[in-house]
A and B are shown apart, each in its own frame.
Chain A
């Protein structure tokens, strides 16, 4: 019987302690297989709780952050009255939404209608499990990390399509179809740019990708290959914004056109799930950008030993989240600055600009590796 093991310090700890505790059990129940299975299950529960906690815990923080960032861009204050500077505003929002009335419109396909938000939530959760937060802080360190992310990330669109279709509303349907077309197109660039990362790191394992960026700041992939790395980073930024359906690529929601797009008919908890999924996707995509381009959990060492010693004293997970929040801030600034392109322009942009540039980038990257690497 194959029982996978989870390798991280907590996992070792659990594996060490489960046999010790099982010694107290009656003798006929003791067996090594059982210990392994129990240890695995305990580990799995810990992992699931950890992923959920990171994701769901970060969503209210991000919503608060978004409201504050957009407020300050717009010369206003944002939430101020609940808690210190409105810090617990989103908690009130979440509680309120949980206790709202929930109903589906009369013509809706009820099963699909309620299933859709769950599907949307699954994708970012699964991606989060693959991200290495620190040297030994990764939930599942699979060797096929990048292909798995590409596969899973496209899963979210299914929920959006289902949600829009099952709502029995023309605006929802239009939003869902737009979203479908957009996601499928941008998936290609998204995959291409991850392929570029795989090419320069030589691995599809996210931990290996991070470890290959160890060293100074110049070793991060954004700087490691001059110019190309930066272009790659920008392209990743664009295509991941589109993947997340965030403004300026939020044509699926497009409040001014479609009053809310695919989630027009959703209310209460299902709507909260769409809302959360949007922000969790933001975390996972920022984490992916950090892992692939910004050196993951590595400190931004600059090559001067005196400074670097201090920098490396800070735990990697702190560096990781600092970079993630920087990325999120970038996404937010972009969201609150730009206007939304039209649906056909969005497609044009992907097929006529992003994809050719991506292909050129791949070629140039290959040439660089052959010549310099």
Chain B
């Protein structure tokens, strides 16, 4: 078998005729411009090779000629489902460099927007999971509630997706007075909606059949491949940056980190539903504790970083999002900025998960990994 296309490694003797299928770069279930080369034996997948780079935009090269502030705007375009979380990841690294602190109110604004972003992303997951399994209605259900979050985000930040909101030392604006009542109303609405949605999908026998025991990622593999976020926690590893290395005010908030043990598609689904509930819990606490008075940002300073290397990591909806800033000269421009997106290792582990499964299972597994391709390719 020396004629295998690049990337395929498994050597095996077969009696049947294997064939190759090319999924993507334009395919409804690859969640963007990802190409998956599949080696098939009938409908069973023998091996999978992901081909990245169809949306590689050279962000890191471009960042070298941008100022730090401009890079915050650019980071919106990485994980666009929760751009607000990317902003925070970059801003925390900059704060470490500038050595500025954040007042309490700003921290609450940050955490609340983070959790809203997480819910929005998980709702998209709910939709895509149902949609990829063939239930178009789930897709619309998920997006219906997400629109309400984007309404709130738009009122606060001025944009639905590309928020460009946080700044070193706080945020760009104060939140409007309507923010807290709106979030409260949204949470009350979401509670009822989630009950319906779980009833709709969680116990459904077809969903169970299609996801229980499918795409199992063992604990060891999950750690070895560097998976993070819900994918890692569904495999039984209790790791959440909000708990392990708490940033912002997460150490003062009371929330659980849901951990599931099986590491199959159904657990990855359940864990995200559980995380929506946890996020709602955090939001309710924040609403209670939200300081009405007080500064909403620290003293404005020009964003100039001294020479050094600054690293920040946060837990986005997808997992561990790390930013590594290298400043070689004191100034407004970075020498190099590197981003570690959570989806990249997940796709690397995909081959491990799909072997021996059907092509339909690949769609399920892809959906539960919930990758965002532009964040992988950057």
Contact = CB atoms under 8 A, between A and B. Distances in A.
Interface of A: 70, 73-76, 170-171, 174, 178, 247-248, 250-251, 254-259, 336-345
Give the one of A76, A257, A343, A344 with max B CB within 10 A: A257
B100 interface: no
Given A174-B43, A178-B43, A337-B137, 19 more contacts: A74-B144, A76-B140, A170-B21, A248-B206, A250-B134, A257-B359, A336-B137, A338-B206, A339-B135, A339-B138, A339-B204, A339-B210, A340-B135, A340-B360, A342-B358, A342-B360, A342-B361, A344-B43, A345-B210
B210 A257 contact: no
Nearest to A71: B140
A interface: dominant SS: loop
B140 A338 contact: no
Interface string B125-167: 0000011111111101100100000000000000000000000
Contacts of A74: 136-137, 140-141, 144
Interface in B9-23: 19, 21
Contacts of B359: 174, 257-258
B189 interface: no
A337 B362 CA distance: 22
B29 interface: yes
A171 B19 CA distance: 12
A345 B200 CA distance: 20
Contacts, number: 83
Give the one of A170, A336, A342, A343 with max B CB within 10 A: A342
B28 interface: yes
Nearest to B358: A342
A336 B139 CA distance: 11
Contact of A248 (B134, B141, B358, B363): B134
B209 interface: yes
A170 B19 contact: yes
Interface of B: 19, 21, 27-29, 43, 130-138, 140-141, 144, 200-201, 204, 206-207, 209-210, 358-363
Given A336-B137, A339-B206, A340-B133, A257 B360 contact: yes
B363 A257 contact: yes
Contacts of A343: 43, 358, 360
B29 A344 contact: no
B interface: dominant SS: helix
25 contacts: A70-B136, A73-B137, A74-B136, A75-B140, A75-B141, A178-B43, A247-B134, A248-B135, A256-B131, A256-B363, A257-B360, A338-B134, A339-B134, A339-B135, A339-B138, A340-B134, A340-B135, A340-B360, A341-B206, A342-B209, A342-B358, A342-B361, A343-B43, A344-B43, A345-B210
B43 A256 contact: no
A261 to B, nearest CB: 12
Contact of B136 (A171, A254, A336): A336
Contacts of B133: 256, 339-340
B210 A256 contact: no
Given A76-B140, A256-B29, A257-B29, A338 B363 contact: no
Contact of A342 (B137, B141, B210): B210
Contacts of A248: 134-135, 206
B134 A256 contact: yes
Contacts of A341: 206, 209-210
Contacts of B140: 74-76
Nearest to B29: A256
Nearest to B131: A256
Given A174-B43, A337-B137, A342-B209, A256 B132 contact: yes
Nearest to B211: A339
A73 B207 CA distance: 19
Nearest to A255: B28
